Amino acid sequence: MSAILSVTVGAALIATATGVAGAVIYRAARSIESFRHDDHEAFTSKNHSASNGGGK
Amino acid sequence: MTDGSELQALTQEEADKHALHHFGYAQQLLRDMGGFSNFAISFSVISILTGAVTLYGIGLNAAGPAVMGIGWPFVTIFVLLVSASIAELASAIPTSGALYHWSALLGGAGWGWITGWLNLIGLVATISAIDYGCAGFLAPLLHMPFVAPAEVTRSTMQVFTCLLLSQAVLNHVGIRVVSKLNDLSAWYHIIGVVIIVGALAFFAHHQPIAFLYTSHFSTLKLGNTSPSYGYAFMSGLLLAQWTYTGYDASAHTIEETKDARVRAPWGIFLSVAISGLAGYLLISAVTLAIKDLPAIAGADNPFRAVFEAAFPHSNFPVVVMWIVTLAQWFCGLACVTSTSRMMFALSRDKGMPFSSTWATVSKKYRTPASAVWLSAGLAFLLPAALLLFLHFQPHAGDFTTLYGAITGISTIGLYLSYGFPILLKLRAEQRGTWNAKTYGPWSMGSWSRPMNAIAVVWIAFITVLFVLPPNELTGKVFAIVFVLLLAYYAVAVRGKFKGPVPQARSEQDLLRMEQEFENLSGATQEP
């Protein structure tokens, strides 16, 4: 690869990594804000027995 | 059980206990870690000053500076997605068994058992690799009798044993002291990176930025042939991938973290994100300071060689080695914490031989003391057993190559144990047993499924990459271990291991257990 192309690819990757990190942080922060304990269903044995049909 | 309307009014401590009670467990471990401490433990296990330094030569020789300039951010993107996928599982199911427990709930006891054991094998091998590597750095710094870094000497084993003992004792006596040391470790890593990057930036020779993206250099040989640059570059990606391991530590200490459902997921994700940034600065600065690329790549320790060439007639390379060595000790300390919590959780559900012993909690310190000593003991046995084997079979190979192959399975074990619960969560979503209400407060919402899917594909890709030449010996060792695990499961575990076992039938019983434990703990601490 030529030097210019290599630098461009590197810069694009750094920008993408930063973007992914920022986007996940933004999305998780929104999800924490809107979370309601009384609307939450714990994934416990009830779900487990339903999902265990095809398991080992 | 507490009804929905009362839940919003619970104190944070009650909410944490209530979340644990949902899964049938009592609060036995001391919940004393804050958000920074939870982040710090994963950040310490990833330890950019350990992974990115000790593996620097492997990456540089595989495909030159482009491994640092292009490979590191490329791998970081996918590891961020893996960590985010694990983080939302930790938020939904906040128990210290973490990966094991998630797989067991999502896929059944068999999936849970294999995930737990792969995770455990990965963690124990990590402690062995980190502490033995640390001993190899420390022995010459202490001017102990030492022949060569690649040669097994008595002094290296002595230092290795002392390091393990120090980490086990600290983990035995309490999460408070360990979490304070982990906090210190996080700052230490940041300051260490600032010192190294600062010194290189202000006092060393610099290459132009384009040098960081040099994509034609490789010394990689497969037998007598040189592979294509593309293959060599992919092999070089392992530098970053090997560094990014162990961030599940934040999930293993989730029962000791306040506001666990929010802070532990942040700990998992941010430890990767900040390691990505700091690690990139570190390896970029080191690479840009290279004067003679073939000479540095050909050195015994290319990382150290960069500093020796950049700072001739100076003690700075020795200072850097001390910085790195202490970082490795911090990394080992956090690894013992993480491993012991995993063992405790698997034993609590009777997933290990002599489970009742490893599931005991010190009444005085409220730590899983037996599991701490077992973690350190198994980590010690790994090189000791290999040395004994080579004593009787001296022609089987050299210690360094075999030990590298054995400890190399740590990353495969860890990443498979990350991948299984993510895959099972996708399957549960497909079947409708996992829905929008099942997520904890930390989630990626509608982005979750595509992110999870990319994370699983990435794990499948790197698992193959981990065992391709020149790492085929690691692949063979892993295949043997995996077959032995499956055989053990089929013969002795299947049908007997039931997966997560509630410690009591009702929340009242769990509260009673906790009260009894607190009374005993209080009585033991009285003078």
Burial tier of A35 (Cβ tally within 10 Å: 0-12, 13-18, 19+): middle
Nearest CA in chain A to B74: A13
Q: Do A14 and B73 touch (CB under 8 A)?
A: yes
Q: What percent of chain A has a predicted confidence (pLDDT) above 70? A: 75
Nearest CA in chain A to B272: A21
Give the separation between CA B265 and CA B84, rounded to whole angstroms.
8
Chain A residues inside the 8 Å CB shell of B441? 31-32, 35
Matching residue, tokens 């489970």:
B355
pLDDT value of residue B527: 38
Indicate if the pLDDT at residue B392 is higher than 50.
yes
* pLDDT tens digits, B298-333: 998 899 999 999 999 999 999 999 999 999 999 999
Q: What percent of chain B has a predicted confidence (pLDDT) above 70? A: 95
Indicate if the pLDDT at residue B149 is higher than 80.
no
* pLDDT tens digits, B419-464: 999 999 999 999 999 998 999 999 999 999 999 999 999 999 999 9
Nearest-neighbour CA in chain A from B142: distance (Å): 40
pLDDT value of residue B506: 85
Give the separation between CA B75 and CA B96, rounded to whole angstroms.
27
Higher pLDDT: B18 or A19? It is: A19
Name the least confident of B10-19, B67-76, B383-392.
B10-19
Indicate if the pLDDT at residue B2 is higher than 80.
no
**Optimal mutation site among B111, B262, B430, B433, interface A, most CBs of chain A within 10 A:** B433
Q: What percent of chain B has a predicted confidence (pLDDT) above 90? A: 73
Please name the helix (run of DSSP H) or strand (run of DSSP E) that holds residue B242, with its range, or none.
Answer: helix B238-243
* pLDDT tens digits, B393-415: 888 888 878 888 888 889 999 99
pLDDT confidence band for B501 (50 / 70 / 90):
confident
pLDDT value of residue B14: 85
What does the pLDDT average to over B53-69?
Answer: 93
Residue B50 near residue B130, CB atoms below 8 Å: yes
What does the pLDDT average to over B155-180?
Answer: 93
Nearest CA in chain A to B280: A14
pLDDT confidence band for A52 (50 / 70 / 90):
very low
Inform me whether the C-beta atom of residue B93 falls under 8 Å from chain A C-beta atoms: yes
Chain A residues inside the 8 Å CB shell of B74? 13
* pLDDT tens digits, B470-482: 989 999 999 999 9
Give the separation between CA B214 and CA B60, rounded to whole angstroms.
11
| Beta carbons within 8 Å of B205's beta carbon, 6+ residues apart | B289, B291, B310
Nearest CA in chain B to A11: B70
What does the pLDDT average to over B179-190?
Answer: 95
pLDDT value of residue B408: 83
Name the least confident of A3-12, B120-129, B348-357.
A3-12
Residue whose C-alpha is closest to residue B23's, from B504, B491, B512, B409: B504
Residue B71 near residue B269, CB atoms below 8 Å: no
pLDDT value of residue B523: 57
Higher pLDDT: B49 or B53? It is: B49
pLDDT confidence band for B151 (50 / 70 / 90):
low
Q: Do A50 and B433 touch (CB under 8 A)?
A: yes
What does the H/E/C string look like for B93-122?
CCCCCCHHHHHHHHHCHHHHHHHHHHHHHH
Inform me whether the C-beta atom of residue B49 falls under 8 Å from chain A C-beta atoms: no
pLDDT value of residue B414: 96
pTM for the complete prediction?
0.92
Q: Which two tokens stand for residue B421?
A: 């619960």
Inform me whether the C-beta atom of residue B442 falls under 8 Å from chain A C-beta atoms: yes
Inform me whether the C-beta atom of residue B111 falls under 8 Å from chain A C-beta atoms: yes
Q: Do A55 and B108 touch (CB under 8 A)?
A: yes
- DSSP 8-class letter at A1: -
pLDDT value of residue B6: 58
Please name the helix (run of DSSP H) or strand (run of DSSP E) that holds residue B27, with its range, or none.
Answer: none
Tell me the Ramachandran region of residue B493: left when phi exceeds 0, alpha when psi lies from -120 to 50, beta otherwise.
Answer: alpha
* Residue pairs spanning A and B at CB distance below 8 A: 147
pLDDT confidence band for A51 (50 / 70 / 90):
very low
Chain A residues inside the 8 Å CB shell of B80? 17, 20-21, 24
Higher pLDDT: B400 or B130? It is: B130
Give the separation between CA B344 and CA B361, rounded to whole angstroms.
8
Q: For residue B222, what are the β-bridge partners?
A: B225
Nearest CA in chain A to B445: A31
Nearest-neighbour CA in chain A from B140: distance (Å): 38
Hey, is B422 helix, strand or coil?
helix
Indicate if the pLDDT at residue B510 is higher than 80.
yes
Mean pLDDT of chain B: 91
- DSSP 8-class letter at B365: T
Please name the helix (run of DSSP H) or strand (run of DSSP E) that holds residue B24, with its range, or none.
Answer: none
Q: Do A28 and B266 touch (CB under 8 A)?
A: yes
Q: Which of B1-15, B185-199, B386-400 has the highest mean pLDDT?
A: B185-199
Q: Of chain A residues 23-52, which have a CB less than 8 A from chain B?
A: 23-25, 27-28, 30-32, 35-45, 47-48, 50-52
pLDDT value of residue B522: 66
pLDDT value of residue B466: 87
Give the separation between CA B40 and CA B253, rounded to whole angstroms.
11
Q: Do A51 and B106 touch (CB under 8 A)?
A: yes
Residue B99 near residue B246, CB atoms below 8 Å: no
| Beta carbons within 8 Å of B434's beta carbon, 6+ residues apart | A43, A47, A51, B106, B425, B428
Inform me whether the C-beta atom of residue A55 falls under 8 Å from chain B C-beta atoms: yes
pLDDT value of residue A56: 25
Chain A residues inside the 8 Å CB shell of B438? 40-43, 47
Indicate if the pLDDT at residue B272 is higher than 80.
yes
Nearest-neighbour CA in chain B from A11: distance (Å): 8
pLDDT confidence band for A55 (50 / 70 / 90):
very low
Nearest-neighbour CA in chain B from A16: distance (Å): 7
Give the separation between CA B447 and CA B457, rounded to whole angstroms.
16
Q: Which two tokens stand for residue B106?
A: 């999502």
pLDDT value of residue B5: 52
